[in-house]
Amino acid sequence: MTRPRVLALWGVFVCLPLASASRAQADAPAAAPQPRAAQESGEMAQRREHWAWQPLAAVEPPAAGHPVDAFVADALRARGLEAAPAAAPHTQLRRLWFDLVGLPPSPAAVERFLADPSESAWLREVDALLASPHFGERWGRHWLDLMRYCETLGHEFDYELPNAWRYRDYVIRALNADVPYDQFVREHIAGDLMDPPRRDAEGRNESVQATASWWFPEQTHSPVDAMQHQADRIDNQIDVFGKAFLGMTIACARCHDHKFDAIPTRDYYSLFGYVQSSRYVQAPIQPVAPNAAPYRRALALQRDLAAAWRAGPAEAAAPAAAPDASPGRGFALRPEDVRIADADEAERGWYLTGDAFGDAPWAEPFCPDPTAEKPRLVSLPGRFWVSAAAGPRREGTLATRSFPLEHRYVHVRTAGDHSRLKLIVDGLHVVRDPIYGSLHRNIDRPDAHWVTFDIEMWRGRTAFLQAIDQREPDLGDPRHNRGRYPDKTWIAVQVVCTSPHRQPPTTADGPAVLELDRARSTPQLDAALTAFAAAADALPVSPTVPAMADGSGIDSYVYLRGSHKNPGQAAPRAFLSAVAAKAAPAAQSSSGRLQLADAVLSPGDPLPARVLVNRVWHHLFGRGIVKSVDNFGALGDAPTHPALLDWLARDFRDHDWSLKHVVRRVVTSDAYRRTSGVQAASQPSDPTNALVHRQNVRPLEAEIVRDALLSISGSLDPQLYGRSIEQPREAITDARGKPGHHDPLDGKGRRSVYLAVRRNFMNEMMLAFDQPTPFATVGRRNTSNVPAQALALANAPLVHELCRRFADRVLAHSDDPTERLQWAYKLAFGRLPRAAELARLLPFVEAPGDEREVWFDALHALINTTEFRFRR
């Protein structure tokens, strides 16, 4: 077949409204179903017989009573196994607290439950913990592992991903609110496109914040081959999408059909298109609804101001010529110039994020900052998109559609103050020197002028232009990596074209900026200015998050053997072919992620519910019903209890996809509450406890070790949310990109989920205790046993400091050594010391010597026992 030239060169087909006639293919619906079966070998069809692709079985519990126990008992009976007895009440309670909220049980809870370990008391504890805000912190961290959550991009300079921490807070809030999981996943895939989005009580857009999770791949600042860089990034994004939501290793199909699963390589590139059609932005989370009164009022008063100026005496402004005296645009495109986007054609080719630019281009003079000491009126020739339409406080991004860089020059007619234009080539948002610096331009002139990009190095590639008016720096921002842009900035854009000519289209210059001299102004103008200033000032400044934004719909091609230099067959955007649910085609101006999310979450896709309930089981038992929690494919493990898995998944969907419901289901079972002790009778036939005849012993995760130390030493600050806590200066290796801010050794007592996750400056103690490095989905952490852990608990300054506070707390509790030890045990282990333990400890603490030191030693010893480090 004859492919379009662009395709042959770069393997990407851009669906462009203005592209030449050879692009007839682009008119087909983006995700038209293809007759795939005909192209496939019988092997793919056979692979679809694999259990994970099958619909959820309609099973009923095999017996009365707790459904979970009915299924577990059924499997045990089939193998002639005996279930272990219930764990001691204190063990159950400590297990429940660590599993649900990641903290040791409070002494009050211990006393309460040990006094009355009844069934109803257990249910009360369960419900109280599910309602605790710490639930979201604990389970949020599990989720962050799946999303490879981090706050920097890694590589040489470890650039920050501004506001990544807001995503962490979003996750905690969502889990605490028990947002239905289907909604939660839809927000992750396409939260930026949901209309209406989910909003919090203050009206902030929650949905869009989930899309930050697309932006945790590592990125570098100067890839020699940007397209390769994009392909590697999208590979990571598909990998996480596949494993986290679907339990499928889709990224294995990058270079060839999946070796074992029903995932042809074409599926991989069908998903590739969704990501390639999407862009990075810092999205304001507090957009004012376009029809909200304060916002409309600010826009109207901006217009009134222009009218008042026009009505006033000419001497109100110094320059004699009225700025709109010569209507017209002052330039004309030449025949060779290719118009990419034009404010006169506002309805097509433009992508807006936030509401700074208003809902239409602006033709009137406008005042970018009415509260300035000397307000200025800017008049631009013709219609422009203006980011100060409602005053300076609203922020946003304006972008063009994607276009091929066919000519050597890109000309943009623009104006602005402390804002910037970026040409994003092959999806490379980290625009900076040494290679890409010329694609970033600071816009600091308030009069209409042309900015020209020489793209000789990138001829034939695909690009789009972004105009950015935001305080937050861009990725790898050349000027402001650690800081912010000034508050009152603006940008205006009129037209974007590509051209073989270095000279921009001709322009007639004219006066553009007027100082509004208040001493000489009219009362009407004064009043208009005052009114506009008040209205603009009343609009909130919105925080932003890293987010997805839609771009032109782009379908990829299968890259043969994974090389983008080797394009094969077209792969229109579509969901996995092995799943019955199909993604509806999207508009050409859209990525189609919303349709993708619908397919993922449709009843025809059994994977998300199965994968999620299995993760819950994993976190509550230390091992999933499917042990390979991120891989339900042929190379993954088969479910030990398939009927239970499907029953839980259906139960989950039937209960509005409620995570808390599933957790509650499981922890109220007898299976959950059994002892973890090895059972002599059952151990030989179920040595790995695959059939769950008992509970499992598990080490506390890195974060929980630290949180437990904070808790028992009385140092825990239970505050939720906020900017991340940095490591103390002495903990940071001297290397590029090191953080500019430091916090004290104890991290202000904040829970570990709030510790900064910087790729090149990972927290050594967290790593020693197996916190995963953020590069891929990790549903099942390593559980290693390394000397570094023992060294940390024996010698780390943090551990010593917290143990001292623990000792002081215990000493202050009572003068009686036995009472002190009882208090210490209650805090550290959630139980009272047994007689044999008191017999060891009392002589130790009553030995001669400084009392504080002796007690410090004894309590430090408690921290170094396996009982502290493990949850049984």
Contacting other proteins within 647-676 (CB under 8 A): 675-676
Q: Residue 614 CB, nearest distance to other proteins (Å)?
A: 14
Segment interacting with other proteins, rule: CB under 8 A, options 23-31, 173-181, 651-659, 771-779: 771-779
User: 539, 298 in Cβ contact below 8 A?
Assistant: yes
SS3 of 592, please? Answer: coil
Minimal distance, residue 684 CB to other proteins, in Å:
15
Q: Are 758 and 152 in contact (CB under 8 A)?
A: yes
Does position 560 bind other proteins by CB under 8 A?
A: no
Residue 434 binds other proteins, judged by CB under 8 A: yes
Considering only the stretches 127-135, 466-474, 543-551, 838-846, report the one whose residues sit in contact with other proteins under the rule CB under 8 A. Answer: 838-846
Shorter beta-carbon distance to other proteins: residue 523 or 848: 848
Site membership for other proteins, residue 844 (CB under 8 A): yes
Q: Which is nearer to other proteins, 374 or 834 (CB)?
A: 834
State the amino acid at position 325 in one-letter form. Answer: A
Q: By CB under 8 A, is residue 817 in contact with other proteins?
A: no
Check binding of 795 to other proteins (CB under 8 A).
yes
Give the β-pairing of 544-550 and 403-404.
unpaired
Is 335 near other proteins (CB under 8 A)? no
Q: Applying CB under 8 A, does 787 fall inside the site for other proteins?
A: yes
Site for other proteins in 105-164 (CB under 8 A): 154-156, 158
Restricting to residues 449-468, name those near other proteins by CB under 8 A: 457
**Distances in whole angstroms, Cα of residue 512 to Cα of each of 261, 320, 322, 443:** 63, 11, 9, 16
Taking CA atoms, 364 is separated from 144, 297, 394, in Å, by: 47, 16, 19
Query: Contact with other proteins (CB under 8 A): which of 32, 332, 791, 812?
Result: 791
Q: Stretches 214-222, 315-323, 464-472, 494-502: which one binds other proteins (CB under 8 A)?
A: 214-222
681 is a site residue for other proteins (CB under 8 A): no
Q: Which of 292, 325, 541, 635 binds other proteins (CB under 8 A)?
A: 635
Under the criterion CB under 8 A, does residue 249 sit at the interface with other proteins?
yes
DSSP 717: B
SS3 string, 347-376, reads: CCCEEEECCCCCCCCECCCECCCCCCCCCE
Task: Between 26 and 227, name the residue whose CB sits nearer to other proteins.
Answer: 227
In the window 489-508, what residues touch other proteins (CB under 8 A)?
none
Nearest-angstrom CA–CA distance, 286 and 292: 12
Tokens encoding 245: 């939501």
- Are 247 and 576 in contact by the 8 Å Cβ rule? The answer is no
Q: What is the DSSP letter of 273?
A: H
Q: Give the span between the Cα atoms of 502 and 658, in whole angstroms.
A: 59
In contact, 263 and 257? CB cutoff 8 Å: yes
The size of the interface with other proteins (CB under 8 A), counted in residues, is 83
Least distance to other proteins from the beta carbon of 105, Å? 17
Give the bridge partners for 415, in sequence order: 492
Residue (of 698, 625, 765, 652) closest to 98 by Cα position: 698
What is the spatial distance between Cα 141 and Cα 774, in angstroms, rounded to a whole number? 12
Q: How far is the CB of 867 from other proteins (least distance, A)?
A: 5
In sequence order, the β-bridge partners of residue 490 are 417
Q: Does 677 bind other proteins (CB under 8 A)?
A: yes
Binding segment for other proteins (CB under 8 A), chosen from 358-366, 411-419, 468-476, 629-637, is: 629-637
* Size (the chain), residues: 872
Stretch of residues binding other proteins (CB under 8 A), selected from 97-105, 275-283, 535-543, 855-863: 855-863
Which residue type occupies 81? L
CB contact at 8 A, 752 and 707: yes
Among 205, 777, 821, 855, binds other proteins (CB under 8 A): 777
CB of 709 to other proteins, least distance (A): 14
User: Which residue lies nearer to other proteins by CB, 225 or 336?
Assistant: 225
Q: Does position 872 bind other proteins by CB under 8 A?
A: yes
Coil, helix or strand at residue 51: helix
The helix (run of H) or strand (run of E) holding residue 397 is: strand 396-400
Helices 817-829 and 107-115 meet at what angle, rounded to 10?
Answer: 90
Query: Does residue 633 interact with other proteins by CB under 8 A?
Result: yes
CB 846 within 8 A of CB 817: yes
CB of residue 217 to other proteins, shortest distance in Å? 9
In the complex, least distance from residue 816 CB atom to other proteins, rounded to whole angstroms: 20
Of residues 21 and 835, the one with the C-beta less far from other proteins? 835
By CB under 8 A, tell whether 759 contacts other proteins. Answer: yes
| Closest CB to other proteins among residues 191, 223 | 223
